[in-house]
Amino acid sequence: MGISSKSFSKKPVREESALTATLRRIDIRFPWLKIVGVVVLGLIVIMDLFGLTISRIGDPGDKISIAPMARHVKITERVLEGKKLVALTFDDGPSAETTPVLLNTLRERDVPATFFMLGSRARNNPDIVKKVKEEGHEVASHTMYHQNLIRIPASAAAADIDEAKGILKSILGQDVSLTRTPYGNVNDTVRGFVGTPIILWSVDTLDWKIKNTDSIVGITMSEVSDGAIILMHDIHPTSVEAVPRLVDTLRDAGYEFVTVSEMAEMHGIKLANGVSYYSL
């Protein structure tokens, strides 16, 4: 009777790699290494959870974890020596359509700005308000409903200002420190109860009216000077579209951007409540 070849078949034996053999010998001779590895891994996880991670080099995520304002301050220290300063400011927002687009542009060009927000719009767009602050920009008040404060009763003007402050504080978790009165109108009565410095402007781009990039850039460059506060509006698409060219043109002319509060500090100006500032 013939013997079936099947009875002689064997499953192939997988050869053990040198690395596997070495790890197996280490595991046999030094079993405590496993315990040490688990402990070290656990410590790393705990440190990461509590923000105690060891410094990493070249991790792109580190750029996100650093507060944007801290980044702007570092850039300020590096590039502003010998340069003229301007504060780019935006009124009447935030807008769900145009403000996020503007934020992208400012982020790409690393430009900090000051946003004078209406309380009524901030209330409807709290996430955008928070985003503006998170990205290192300055949030300030433009009152609640954009009323002409010197044309309404003092009690109504005071209530309008206080309501806007309350809305912004409820969103940001802190008080705003600057106010811009609508139309730039202010009198002694308003100065008495506004409770913050009043920031107006030295360069009116007329962006809300002309809605043309060439004109916006032309007006700005004809009026700008060191310490200028530039007025724009982030609710108009044409204004937002003009920002990249305006920023590039100003930088080519030797200007660099800071927030209003940063510029006051850098120029040694202590802002006072109730006082109007057109430039710094």
Number of C-beta neighbours around residue 6 at 10 A: 6
pLDDT at residue 83, as a whole number: 86
Please give the model's pTM, rounded to 2 decimal places: 0.74
pLDDT at residue 100, as a whole number: 98
Give 120-169 pLDDT, tens digit per residue. Answer: 999 999 999 999 999 999 999 999 999 999 999 999 999 999 999 999 99
Q: Give the mean pLDDT of the chain.
A: 83
- Alpha-carbon dihedral angle through residues 46, 48, 54, 55, given to the nearest 10 degrees: -170
Among residues 72, 137, 142, 233, which one is catalytic?
A: 233
Domain ranges in the chain?
18-49, 67-277
Report CA-CA distances (Å) from 148 to 77, 152, 229.
39, 7, 21
Instruction: Evaluate whether 85 touches 227 at the Cβ level (below 8 Å).
Output: yes
Among residues 91, 92, 160, 234, which one is catalytic?
A: 91
| 91 a catalytic residue | yes
| 233 a catalytic residue | yes
pLDDT at residue 52, as a whole number: 43
Question: Among 196, 136, 131, 192, which Cα is nearest to 165's?
Answer: 196
End-to-end Cα, the chain, rounded Å: 109
What is the fold of 67-277?
TIM Barrel (3.20.20)
pLDDT at residue 80, as a whole number: 74
pLDDT at residue 40, as a whole number: 56
According to DSSP, the residues that pair with 204 across neighbouring strands are: 231
**Residue ranges in the chain whose pLDDT is less than 70:** 1-79
DSSP the chain: -PPPGGGG--PPPPPPPHHHHHHHHHHHH-THHHHHHHHHHHHHHHHHHTT-PPP-SS-TTHHHHS-HHHHHHHHHHHH-TT-EEEEEEEES---TTTHHHHHHHHHHHT---EEEE-HHHHHH-HHHHHHHHHTT-EEEE--SS---TTSS-HHHHHHHHHHHHHHHHHHHSS----B--GGG---HHHHHH--S-EE--SEE--HHHH--HHHHHHHHHHH--TTEEEEEETT-HHHHHHHHHHHHHHHHTTEEE--HHHHHHHTT----TT-EESB-
